[in-house]
Chain A
């Protein structure tokens, strides 16, 4: 079964991961397109917030308020991004009644990278991959009980991701 009796966990994990990604190995989930009635609606997109150049202006446009720092937000981002085009960033929070999470990259041409709506029953957790033009502070903003909280981390970028 195992071709490498002394294979380290990493190699095995790599192989298992391949198996998990089985959708493409033909283990599909019976996925099929469905009619558009339930589809995402572009009208909901907060166009104004995505144009803003500062943290304060983004928060004002998105939520109409300001944020205070919180240690109940965990912002998982690399210290040095391997490539600014693909920077994995994850946000989780132990704050109660979280209704929204936003991720801002302060030195990007437009500061807001992504905003998420967290309905009741969905955990205060999101993981995504963002582009960073250069070294920048990354800010995670969490809306909890109607108030805004934030946490920040500096991510160094040596190869910029404007190219996308």
Chain B
């Protein structure tokens, strides 16, 4: 039967796959190919404009966005984030004490690879690590408080070039490669990968939305979505992608989400931070 034949194929495939040697992983070559793909496919989009997502490729949407940017709907979230950021913890320390340059203008350096834990640390995770180190409970990675904090930190970093480092460390390279694999793997009942939309179809309409290019997508995070009526975190963004293709979302800041953010952020190196972004 069809099913049996299919599973047999799958088993052969999975056992035939060799383990990756670190030497096979070449982020710099990936970066060049990725950049070339987008700039050649969209010769009319200026490189630094990719960070504005669908607005870089649709004139009608761009006009509405510019109108909204006159007084952007995310201002209240940024203001709330600023207040949270500047409010000391019970021990008197602040978020700023956990970051270089007191946390101002540092968004472009995240995610970072942490050699001690062997894990990718996103800005959201770093904020919760900071809270826990100071005796505070972590914030929910899907909720408005985390979105407001990261929105403020992105706001203070606007225009700074994404600056992601992948150290020559087998675990860092493995995390990068896992993120890349997740990005290109088809999933969900609709059998879509992240790349199916954001590499193969940027600028095209999917359902009712214009798809954002993968290049620079993370630079706009976190985003205020009109359909959410509010600011959402990076995790919320990834989770909504999963469920749109009928995949059960992973838990917020799951290792794979952090790895894929690491991969995409490295691909966006040199492009300006545009977050917090406003999107439909």
Contacts and interface: CB of A to CB of B under 8 A. Distances in A.
Direct contact of A and B (CB under 8 A): yes
Interface of A: 3-4, 7-8, 10-11, 14-15, 17-18, 21, 23-26, 78-83, 85-88, 90, 127, 129, 158-159, 163-164
A87 B67 CA distance: 10
B48 A88 contact: no
Given A18-B158, A78-B60, A159 B280 contact: yes
A3 B160 contact: yes
Contacts of B52: 10, 14
B64 A4 contact: no
Given A18-B155, A79-B60, A81-B64, A8 B49 contact: yes
B157 to A, nearest CB: 10
Contacts of A87: 64
Contact of B61 (A3, A26, A82, A86): A82
Nearest to B154: A18
B68 A129 contact: yes
A109 to B, nearest CB: 19
B275 to A, nearest CB: 10
Contacts, number: 88
A80 B156 CA distance: 33
Nearest to A157: B208
A155 to B, nearest CB: 11
B226 interface: yes
Chain B: interface residue count, which band?
A: 35 or more
A8 B46 contact: yes
A37 to B, nearest CB: 27
Contacts of A79: 60
Contacts of A90: 67
B125 interface: no
Contacts of A17: 69-70, 72
A24 B82 contact: yes
A13 B71 CA distance: 14
By Cβ-Cβ distance, the 3 closest A-B pairs, closest first, are A88-B67, A158-B208, A83-B226
A159 B227 contact: yes
A105 to B, nearest CB: 16
Contacts of B156: 25
A51 B121 CA distance: 53
17 contacts: A3-B160, A4-B159, A4-B161, A7-B272, A10-B46, A10-B48, A11-B274, A14-B158, A17-B69, A78-B60, A82-B64, A83-B226, A83-B227, A87-B64, A90-B67, A158-B208, A164-B229
A159 B207 CA distance: 10
B51 interface: yes
Given A4-B159, A21-B75, 9 more contacts: A4-B48, A14-B69, A23-B75, A25-B155, A80-B60, A83-B227, A85-B229, A86-B68, A127-B67
A85 B48 contact: no
B170 to A, nearest CB: 33
